[in-house]
Amino acid sequence: MINEKVRNFLLSSVGFDGGDLGSPKRQSIWLCGIEWGLGYNNIEDLKNTLCNYIPLNNIIENNKNFFAGIEDLYDNIKYPYNRNAIKILSHMLGYNGDYKKFNNDFKPFGKNEIGFFKMNLLPISFPNTRDFDKRNKTAQAIGFKDYNHYIEECHKRFKLLKELKEKYQPKIIICTGKTFDKFKIAFGIKNDDIKHYDGEKNSDFDYAISKYKNGKKCLFVQTRFIVFPHLCSNIGLKNCGENIRKIAQENKIELP
């Protein structure tokens, strides 16, 4: 059984890099991954971080637009995931892949910079998610029986993420990862609202994943909610960014 300290940790801002949450009148673009890339390899590393984050309720209840944000903009292009995310945004906003110029001009996710917010769906990064139940002693040491138990506890977090979305009303939420159903729950998206977008109409997410080869990119969209599994090849990143721009134009969503 997890203790109260761990439960509060799950319901905190852990996993958020931050930036500008925006507001209904000045909406931001949100980027949401699954979890931070670095896992906790031992219980002491995890325990040392359990009290360093802000409760999500505090963020929902206050009226501040800015939360945390990266100090060094070079972090946006230093790490592979961040760099590929910036490349998608650069194509999306008409920079034709000149991601360094885009990063310098817009300063996305930067402290006190407007227009972009970066977060993660899950609060704890585990290095062995695929065989979580068998090998992840760190997870078991803080009270999770198995991966399903961890996700069950995270559903309380998803409810708060939905409230966060409803309060700040992001312009577009771009989600990255295969955790499609969990993204839908966290942001309150109904199955009937989802369509497949890659020039074809198909609502089978497994089919879309099977097409993430040879640079092809399939998106699942609900106007302001977009999901794709991987940040990978440059061709795929270009297609993703340009398709998001088309979706915005088709739905009369004004981009920066």
Instruction: Give the per-residue pLDDT at 211.
Output: 47
Q: What is the pLDDT of residue 210?
A: 45
**Residue 255 DSSP symbol:** P
How confident is the model at residue 133, as a pLDDT?
59
Strands 116-120, 18-20: parallel, antiparallel or unpaired by DSSP?
antiparallel
User: Residue 157: what pLDDT?
Assistant: 95
65 touches 24 (CB < 8 A): no
Report residues of the chain scoring pLDDT below 50: 199-216
Predicted confidence (pLDDT) per residue in 224-243, tens digit: 888 876 665 565 788 788 88
Task: Give the CB-side neighbour count of residue 158, counting CA atoms within 13 A.
Answer: 17
Using the structure block, give the residue that is written with the tokens 């592979």.
80
Question: Token digits for 147?
Answer: 């991966």
Prediction pTM value: 0.87
- CA nearest neighbour of 216 among 239, 187, 186: 239
Please give the pLDDT value at position 93: 96
The pLDDT score that the predictor gives to residue 192 is 64
Query: What is the number of other CB atoms lying within 10 angstroms of the CB of residue 139?
Result: 23
- Whole-number pLDDT of residue 49: 67
Residue with tokens 């990862």: 177
Gap between the Cα atoms of 168 and 73, Å rounded: 24
